């Protein structure tokens, strides 16, 4: 059917508040669960704001995550870059996706993550030691929030942390690129770096990181060398940027809600539920998943036609009043294990974030150590003066000046 996109609301829209969706999204959420929105290139897709509808669509095998498809929706100019077509894990359909996920499952299991917790806690304390020795003000993003997941993913993958400034900067260049060319240049730099690293690991059987382990499994069928490079790229990018921004934006949110922070300071047992509430509210990726319909799909009175794109909004499905009473309120005491874990910040279905156990653990440790050591933490500048990311779907700050 023909749709006059000039009359549609645009996507994406910048937030006015760091932990709340844009006013335009909030308005759409009050009008129903599915909405047509206009993209940068004049095309349109379905924006899903309903929780039930989002889950069902993401779990529907008639929806494809294959970004190499000609009809797959391009949400932002940077996603036209070949480096994103496809991106491992989130951009493949079964059976390839299933094979790759099984290969990685042991490294992200709850048992493995629990074994890492003591080391991550010790790391967080060392970082706070450096911050306090240096004195206020500190940049909490680059001095604390970023080093925690960056060091952890480096150790997990077997990537030298000495190279962190390179891969952190190129990751930002890739995820914040304004053009396909900018994204491709940053992505190719990371690809070439990982290619050289894998070549070195192929000669060193003693390395026990994920990349080295998978390098020994390359068989040209279930796992090709190109697959390995795409997996390493996806894990390196996804393993530090989103978690570091979640720590930073979570701190901003707690400082803006001192009553909720006081509850955490008084009861450390609230931390796991608080982490899921912050994940629900902040939702730094803003997207639970992007798909294209492989055939016509009827859902609650709407028809998604074959070839039409669908984007499930985590920030809005996480505020569906059918699931979350008073959904725009931050409440660290929302019932653990039920509604708090129904949020869609990690996606849903077979593509649900592989690293969610690791991310939750890093967030729990980061918030616990930070506020134990610096209970009087505060922003060193007015919140209005913070430099937030703009013009995309990846929320975050460029720096986070704090004092105590």
Residue 118, token pair as written in the block: 């003591």
| Phi, psi dihedrals of residue 87, rounded to the nearest 5° | -100, 135
| Kind of pairing between the strands at 309-312 and 138-139 | unpaired
Rounded CA-CA distance 222/40 in Å is 37
* Preceding omega of 89 cis (within 30 degrees of 0): no
pLDDT at 100: 94
| pLDDT average, residue stretch 88-104 | 93
pLDDT class of 334 with cuts at 50, 70, 90: confident
Asked if residue 339 has pLDDT above 60, the reply is: no
Q: Quote the tokens at residue 305.
A: 């036609």
Residue 338 has pLDDT above 60, yes or no: no
Contact 84, 78 (CB under 8 A): yes
Q: pLDDT digit string (tens) for 218-233?
A: 998 889 999 999 999 9
Q: What is the DSSP pairing of strand 138-139 with strand 34-38?
A: unpaired
Structure tokens at 166: 């390179």
Backbone angles phi, psi at 219, to 5 degrees: -130, 0
- Helix axis angle for 110-134 and 147-157, nearest 10°, is 140
pLDDT tier for residue 340 given thresholds of 50, 70 and 90: low
Which string of b and e fits 77-96 if b means at least 16 CB within 10 Å?
A: bbbebebbebbbbbbbbeeb
Q: How many helices (H) and strands (E) does the chain have?
A: 15, 10
- Mean pLDDT in residue range 240-252: 97
3-state percent breakdown (helix, strand, coil) of the chain, nearest 5:
50, 10, 40
Query: In whole angstroms, how far apart are CA 50 and each of 300, 320, 325, 392?
Result: 11, 6, 14, 21
Burial of 396 (0-12, 13-18, 19+ CB in 10 A): buried
d(CA 309, CA 206): 45
d(CA 79, CA 86): 10
Given this model, what pLDDT does residue 336 score? 53
CA distance 82 to 91: 12
Which homologous superfamily is 5-403 in?
Cytochrome P450 (1.10.630.10)
The residue length of the chain stands at: 404
Q: Which helix (H) or strand (E) holds 347?
A: none
Three-state secondary structure call for residue 128: helix
Q: How many CB atoms sit inside 10 A of residue 328's CB? A: 13
Q: Is the pLDDT of residue 2 over 80?
A: no
pLDDT band at 320 (very low <50, low <70, confident <90, very high): very high
What confidence tens digit (pLDDT) does each residue in 208-220 have?
799 999 998 899 8
pLDDT digits (tens, 9 = 90+) for 139-153: 999 999 999 999 999
- Is pLDDT of 90 > 70? yes
Report the mean per-residue pLDDT for the chain: 94
Task: Report the Cα 17 to chain-centroid distance in Å.
Answer: 18
Give mean pLDDT, residues 366-382. 97
Instruction: List the Cα angle 81/82/86 in 5-degree steps.
Output: 115
Span 337-361, average pLDDT: 87
CA distances from 98 to 152, 237, 265 (A): 25, 20, 42
Residue 124 has pLDDT above 70, yes or no: yes
pLDDT digits (tens, 9 = 90+) for 55-89: 999 999 999 999 999 999 999 999 999 999 988 98
Query: Residue 385 above 60 pLDDT?
Result: yes
Backbone torsions φ then ψ of 158, nearest 5 degrees: 90, 30
Say how far apart CA 68 and CA 84 lie, in whole Å.
8
pLDDT at 156 over 70: yes
Residue 47 has phi, psi (to 5 degrees) of: -100, 120
pLDDT at 205 over 90: no
Q: Look at residue 203 in the predicted model and tell me its pLDDT.
A: 81
Tell me: pLDDT of 163 over 70. yes
Q: What does the block give as tokens for 229? A: 């490079």
Q: Give the model's pLDDT for residue 206.
A: 66
Q: What is the mean pLDDT of residues 288-300?
A: 98
Convert 249-267 to b/e letters by CB count within 10 Å (16 or more is b). bbbbbbeebeebbebbeee
Task: For residues 90 and 330, give the distance between their C-alpha atoms in angstroms, rounded to a whole number.
Answer: 29
Q: Radius of gyration (Cα) for the chain, nearest Å?
A: 21
- Residues 48 and 94: their CA atoms lie apart, in Å, by 23
């Amino acid at each position: 059917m023909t749709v006059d996109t000039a009359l549609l609301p645009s996507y994406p829209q910048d937030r006015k508040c760091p932990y709340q969706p844009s006013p335009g999204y909030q308005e759409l959420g009050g009008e129903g669960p599915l909405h047509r929105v206009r993209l940068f290139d004049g095309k349109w897709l379905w924006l899903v704001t309903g929780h039930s509808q989002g889950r069902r669509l993401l779990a529907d095998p008639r929806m494809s995550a294959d970004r190499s498809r000609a009809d797959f929706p391009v949400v932002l100019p940077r996603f036209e870059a070949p480096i994103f077509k496809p991106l491992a894990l989130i951009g493949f359909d079964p059976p390839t996706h299933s094979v790759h996920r099984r290969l990685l499952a042991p490294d992200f299991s709850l048992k493995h993550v629990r074994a890492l917790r003591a080391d991550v806690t010790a790391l967080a304390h060392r970082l706070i030691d450096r911050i306090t020795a240096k004195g206020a003000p500190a940049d909490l993003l680059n001095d604390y929030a970023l080093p925690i997941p960056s060091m952890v993913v480096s150790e997990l993958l077997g990537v030298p942390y000495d190279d962190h400034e390179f891969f952190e900067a190129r990751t930002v260049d890739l995820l914040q690129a304004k053009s396909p060319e900018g994204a491709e240049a940053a992505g190719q730099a990371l690809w070439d770096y990982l290619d050289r690293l894998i070549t070195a690991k192929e000669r060193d059987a003693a390395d026990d990181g994920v990349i080295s382990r998978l390098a020994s499994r390359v068989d040209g069928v279930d796992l090709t060398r190109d697959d390995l490079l795409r997996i390493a790229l996806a894990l390196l990018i996804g393993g530090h940027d989103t978690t570091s921004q979640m720590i930073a934006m979570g701190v901003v949110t707690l400082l803006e809600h001192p009553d909720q922070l006081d509850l955490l300071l008084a009861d450390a047992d609230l931390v796991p539920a608080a982490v899921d509430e912050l994940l629900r509210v902040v939702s730094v990726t803003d997207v639970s998943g992007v798909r294209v319909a492989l055939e016509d799909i009827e859902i609650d009175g709407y028809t998604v036609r074959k070839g039409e794109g669908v984007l499930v909004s985590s920030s809005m499905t996480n505020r569906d009043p059918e699931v979350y009473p008073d959904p725009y309120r931050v409440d660290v005491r929302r019932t653990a294990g039920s509604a708090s874990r129904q949020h869609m910040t990690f996606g849903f279905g077979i593509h649900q974030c592989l690293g969610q156990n690791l991310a939750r653990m890093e967030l729990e440790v980061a918030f616990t150590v930070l506020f134990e050591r610096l209970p009087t933490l505060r922003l060193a500048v007015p919140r209005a003066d913070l430099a937030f990311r703009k013009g995309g779907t990846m929320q975050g700050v460029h720096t986070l000046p704090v004092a105590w």
